[in-house]
Amino acid sequence: MNEGQARELRAIAHKLRCNVLEMIGVGKAGHWGGSVSLAETLAVLYFHSMRVDRANPKNPERDRLLLSKGHAALIQYAALCELGYFPREELGKVKSLNGLLQGHPDLTVPGIEAVTGSLGQGLSLGVGMSLALRLDKSPSHVFVIMGDGEQSEGQLWEAAMAAANFKLDNLTAFIDWNKIQATGRTEEIFSIPDLDKKWRSFGWEVLTVNGHDVAAIAAGIEQAKTVKGKPALVILDTIKGKGVSFAENVATYHNGMFDEKKYTQAIEELTAQQETV
């Protein structure tokens, strides 16, 4: 990737963070932390690495992206909005009864491939889709994004074994390794050391990249897609709440609220970053 492409993707990631902030607004609970830790990854996936057909979101040859950590839907909505899949006004109506975009992803939203939110299920769905696409000899690739807290879900490890058993090289999974889950540090709540070794021992190709470096993410995805005969996992080394200083690495902003003062500060910080992307 050249510097021009990288700059463009950084600008998109920045835009996605701004969209998430717009959706949360003042005095409304929203999953800021685990959404924005994925801003660069979603920018790279939707605007660089994935087969996306903006004119036809249902194109059978599209790549599929499943957000297994469905509570972070805001960042996916932010990206789908930038792709033009629904009108911008929907961002202002998020989580309201007359709005399209609800707190967790569902199939009424163009670009959403699966209902997620009950943690641990997305990889199983991804395995099923990968098998079906392979049967159809489809060129499509399936991407599944999980959380590090989510790694304590047993179903996910069953899916990990199944993917290796079926040699699913049209499947790439990610772990958003932001080290914090809903109420505190993942390590303290449910420690799962050596995630890379665990996944490797389950038969996966595993690599770790800086999850806020668009070029590193794109290279990681490229490498993952060249793996043959087994699925690949990209561990994204990220910061929860990335982009707003007082919310970085703070569990309160897993599903927190911005008051007027904090919201203004967040806007100021994001605006300042715009100059340097």
> In the complex, which residues of this chain contact ligand TPP (CB under 6 A)?
34, 69, 71-72, 117-120, 147-150, 176, 178, 180-182, 186, 240
CA dihedral 256, 261, 262, 263 (to 10 degrees): 80
- Shortest distance (Å) from residue 91 CB to ligand TPP: 20
Return the number of the residue (136 or 187) whose C-beta is nearest ligand TPP.
187
Query: In whole angstroms, what is the distance from residue 147 CA to residue 60 CA?
Result: 27
Which helix (DSSP H) or strand (DSSP E) does residue 205 occupy? strand 205-210
- Give the pairing type, strands 64-67 and 142-147: parallel
- Shortest distance (Å) from residue 126 CB to ligand TPP: 16
- Shortest distance (Å) from residue 198 CB to ligand TPP: 15
Return the number of the residue (49 or 121) whose C-beta is nearest ligand TPP.
121
- Shortest distance (Å) from residue 140 CB to ligand TPP: 26
Return the number of the residue (35 or 140) whose C-beta is nearest ligand TPP.
35
Beta strands in 103-170 (DSSP E): 142-147
Contacts of 125-129 with CB under 8 Å at 24 or more apart are 125/66, 125/68, 126/64, 126/66, 126/68, 126/159, 126/163, 126/171, 126/173, 127/159, 127/162, 127/163, 127/166, 127/168, 127/171, 129/64, 129/66
**Alpha-helical runs (H) found in 166-227:** 186-189, 195-201, 214-226
Return the number of the residue (172 or 181) whose C-beta is nearest ligand TPP.
181
The length of the chain in residues reads 277
- Shortest distance (Å) from residue 40 CB to ligand TPP: 14
- Shortest distance (Å) from residue 240 CB to ligand TPP: 6
Return the number of the residue (101 or 180) whose C-beta is nearest ligand TPP.
180
Return the number of the residue (59 or 118) whose C-beta is nearest ligand TPP.
118
**Which of 97, 101, 70 lies closest to 85 in space, CA to CA?**
101
